[in-house]
Amino acid sequence: MYKIVSTVLFKFLVKMRKNLVVFGNLNIPKHNRYVVTCTHESYNEIIMLAMALHPNQIHFMAKKELFENKWVDKFFRNLNAFPVNRENPGPSTLKIPVKHLNQDRTVGMFPSGHRTKEEVPLKRGAATIAMLGKAQILPAAYVGPNTIKGLITDKSYISFGEPIDTTNLPKDLKRAEKIDYIMKQVESETRRLQRELNERLA
């Protein structure tokens, strides 16, 4: 279902409407085994991030509350989303995304943890998962409409930064320190991308 929906949206929003502009295309890994992170102001980032990486499929982490209805649960799972208990994370919080990485799939995460326009400290999940899966992190920033109607009428912009290595880390760091080390890089690069994107479009 993901392939069908993404292809239809890609042809309509990107090819026909030309409503997506992507910067930093050369930073996108040639393989599919990485974690992509992005700023998160609305649900539109999910759609446009998928369009920016099309035809590669992203497996998104999503809060478990979205899966409580069995029909909605089936819909989201068919779109490659999987539930996460953000209030009480268990072993599956790490096990599922790491398994996707080990199967050469891309995992999509929004480290801010919720939709916001404010600069907030990024959570550690992306770094932890990428480090356990020995995968790169591809940071991204989004500027664009925050309504579904806006996706059709206005342009969206995504900027990708350079992938962040999670394997070649200072040897003297403990596990928690390595995660913090990675997240500082993700946070710094994400803010830079957002700032430059805002300046470019000003």
The pLDDT score that the predictor gives to residue 87 is 67
pLDDT digits (tens, 9 = 90+) for 55-64: 999 999 887 8
Using CA atoms, how far apart are residues 167 and 165, in angstroms rounded to an integer?
A: 6
Report the pLDDT value the prediction gives residue 115, as an integer from 0 to 100. 41
The residue among 50, 46, 55, 38 whose CA lies nearest residue 112 is 38
36 in Cβ contact with 138 (< 8 Å)? yes
User: According to the model, what pLDDT value does residue 76 have?
Assistant: 82
CB contact at 8 A, 81 and 59: yes
For the CA atoms of 28, 49, 135, 167, what is the dihedral angle to 10 degrees?
70
83 upstream amide cis, omega within 30 of 0: no
Spans of the chain below 70 pLDDT = 86-90, 92, 112-122
For residue 112, the model assigns a pLDDT of 67
pLDDT of residue 118: 45
User: Rounded to an integer, what distance in angstroms lies between the CA atom of residue 57 and that of residue 120?
Assistant: 28
pLDDT score for 85: 76
Q: What's this model's pTM, rounded to 2 decimal places?
A: 0.90
> Tokens 């998104």 sit at which residue?
60
